[in-house]
Amino acid sequence: MINHTLPEESRWSRNQTTGGIYLLPTRASIFDTTLRDGSQTEGVSFSTEDKLEILDRLDSFGIDFIEGGYPGSNPKDKAFFKAAKSIKLKNGKLVAFGSTHRPGQSPGQDQNLKALLDTETEWVCIFGKSWDLHTEKALQVSLEENLDIVHDTVAFMKENGRRVVFDAEHFFDGYKNNQKYALQVLGQAKKAGAEWFCLCDTNGGAFPSEVFQIVSHVRQELNIPLGIHAHNDGDLAVGNSLAAVEAGASMVQGTMNGLGERCGNANLCSVIPNLMLKMGVQTGVQHLDRLTSLANFVAEMANIAPYPRAPYVGKSAFAHKGGIHVSAVLKDSRTYEHVDPALIGNLRRILVSELSGVSNIMAKAEELGIDTERDGGRSILGKMKELEAQGFQYEAADASLELLIRKLKGQNTSPFRLDGFRTFMDVTGDVMTSEASVRVVDSDGTLEHTAANGNGPVNALDRALRKALERFYPVLKEMRLIDYKVRVIDGKEATAAKVRVLISSTDGSQTWTTIGVSENIIEASLMALIDSIEYKLMKAGISGNDVTLNCQ
């Protein structure tokens, strides 16, 4: 017999802002739909292997329910569930997703439901229409027939030994349009034996105040375990999810990094820490400090660059640039940080720019392991602001910044000197080729003169420079370029404008970014290339004379 009551572990709480009383669960179940709803993100396509890896990471993190896909819709999801049968999850429950049975068929005839049973998962998530408009216009059945469809589908799943989460699609729109009918749909799912009832803001148009009022009313009317599934079309998915929990919902559905169709789903990377750190609601997550690495892992699997300004887990979430901010944070981090970044596995970053004060320089130098007196910090800051006025920007080029600070401190950071270079371009038929020749001198005065081809002048310079230096410093064979960006600083100057070049390099264990600025894109690129090589050598414990750039 199904116990349709609210979770025992709940408490009445007072809203500190409004003074209102609401039922806040002590424990909320997290239902992750990254592998299903998240895969509907434009430009995202997970392979079966990707999904298995993500499943393992979500389970290790402590997610309660992990929705694996819609086996009735495509062969890839069927293959995933087949492969997942051999995996024993430690913390979470794998869930298969599907719809109510087709009109005109019995549940036993429906191939979608057969595919759900074939997954052999303990839990299934069934979505059904709860908006009368959708029932009559999209599904094209009567309101009464839809109630039977919902009941019979859930009952069929229960008869076949499955536990059911019922997703009431478009519930908030349906409730506002026909409250009585929306509640009747939930009532039929309850009667048939569903164990969770998830209210879906499928179009993402609800407001937190609406969500709170509607969830509260549903809880009072039906006394059932409620969940929330919010989309982000109004940029309110996280707020709506938290409002639902404040109203008594004890399940939150969402995706890592807010992946999902259109504007995405509720971002669990924000929902989970807000629940645990701000609302005192526990989840299955035991190591919240793994959240940032999990977010970055899922982004990598989705082939999407992590959003730097994402709350909690973004690279910029705890980055401080203004001098007043940095000075205060160094005295007490609570002045400009709402939580300790270490709690979610993120890092505090001190940025240095023309907006910086001496505190920024001192903090950055300390972060880099460089001893700097306050007066030395002022001189470094003065030079920094002078260079920023010329177009340099060190926020995203920590490697060049460290080299600059060390040079201004009088440290020699480069064991080689570029004595000269030339670039050539030639067209043969429709093909343009590039060649570069360089002359470099090591710290003992040994000259190396070499050339290399490339698919462009910068690529040719990079190859020639490293080809020459690898003779002296074999450690450079470990590094490679992974990104190259060019930004025109003042477009009004047209082709005479200064350009800023950012180059990212890696040696497999570390990644760093360097910068160059010039009216000549080749010179700007070469500055960044030399800094990149110099940084690698410095980290390898190799240093010597400063670089002298002689352009010919």
The candidate with the shortest Cα–Cα distance to 343, out of 324, 317, 371, 374, is 317
Question: Quick one: which of 288, 255, 260 has its CA closest to 274?
Answer: 288
276 DSSP assignment: I
Helix (H, G, I), strand (E, B) or coil at 396: coil
Residues whose CB is less than 8 angstroms from the CB of residue 455 and which lie 6 or more positions away in sequence, other chains included: 434
Q: Are 494 and 523 in contact (CB under 8 A)?
A: no
Contacts of residue 342, defined as CB under 8 A and 6 or more positions apart, other chains included, come to 289
- Locate all alpha helices (DSSP H) within 390-515, ordered by sequence: 398-408, 457-469
CB 476 within 8 A of CB 533: yes
Half-sphere exposure of 312 (CA within 13 A, CB side): 28
Q: What confidence tier does 69 reach under pLDDT thresholds 50, 70, 90?
A: very high
Q: How far is CA 154 from the centre of its chain?
A: 35
Of 3.40.50.1820, 3.30.160.270, 3.10.20.740, 3.30.300.30, which CATH number belongs to 416-539?
Answer: 3.30.160.270
Contact between 298 and 34 (Cβ < 8 Å): yes
Residue 2: its pLDDT value, please? 45
Question: What is residue 356's three-state secondary structure?
Answer: coil
Q: Quick one: pLDDT at residue 172?
A: 98
Residue with the bigger pLDDT between 522 and 185: it is: 185
The whole-angstrom separation of Cα 9 and Cα 26 is 5
Average pLDDT of span 85-100:
96
How do residues 103-112 score in pLDDT, each as one tens digit? 999 999 999 9
What is the model's pTM?
0.74
373 pLDDT more than 90:
no
Q: Which CATH architecture has domain 11-28+94-280?
A: Alpha-Beta Barrel (3.20)
Q: For the stretch 361-396, what's the b/e string if a residue is b when 16 or more beta carbons lie within 10 angstroms of its beta carbon?
A: bbbbbeeeebebeeebbeebbeebeebbeebbbbbb
pLDDT at res. 498? 86
Tokens of 170: 């478009």
Residues of the chain within CATH 3.20.20.70 domain(s) are 11-28+94-280
pLDDT of 249 over the 70 cut? yes
| CATH 3.30.160.270 domain position(s) in the chain | 416-539
Average pLDDT over residues 79-96: 96
pLDDT at residue 196, as a whole number: 98
Which phi and psi angles does 441 have, rounded to 5°? -125, 130
- Tell me which amino acid residue 107 is: P
The residue that leads in pLDDT, 72 or 48, is 48
Least confident stretch, 330-344, 494-508, 538-552 = 538-552
3-state secondary structure of 171: helix
**Which residues lie below 8 Å from residue 101, measured CB to CB, with a gap of 6+?**
107, 109, 110, 112, 113, 149, 152, 153, 156
CA gap 80, 69 in Å, rounded: 8
